[in-house]
Amino acid sequence: MFNLFSLLAFDNLNPMDWAVLEPALNFLWQGMLAIFVVIGLIIVSVKACNYAIVKAAEMKKAREEAKANSEKQEE
pLDDT in tens, the chain (75 residues): 455 566 566 667 777 777 778 888 899 999 999 999 999 999 999 999 999 999 999 999 999 999 998 888 876
Considering the domain boundaries, does residue 72 fall inside one? yes
pLDDT of residue 57: 97
Considering the domain boundaries, does residue 43 fall inside one? no
Considering the domain boundaries, does residue 61 fall inside one? yes
Considering the domain boundaries, does residue 10 fall inside one? no
As a whole number of angstroms, the distance between CA 52 and CA 45 comes to 11
As a whole number of angstroms, the distance between CA 12 and CA 7 comes to 10
pLDDT of residue 35: 98
Total of domains in the chain:
1
Cα-based distances in Å from 22 to 9, 11, 16:
19, 17, 11
Q: Is 46 helix (H, G, I), strand (E, B) or coil?
A: helix
Considering the domain boundaries, does residue 66 fall inside one? yes
Considering the domain boundaries, does residue 41 fall inside one? no
- The answer, as to whether pTM is greater than 0.85, is no
User: E-strand spans in 1-75?
Assistant: none
Domain coverage including residue 66: 48-75
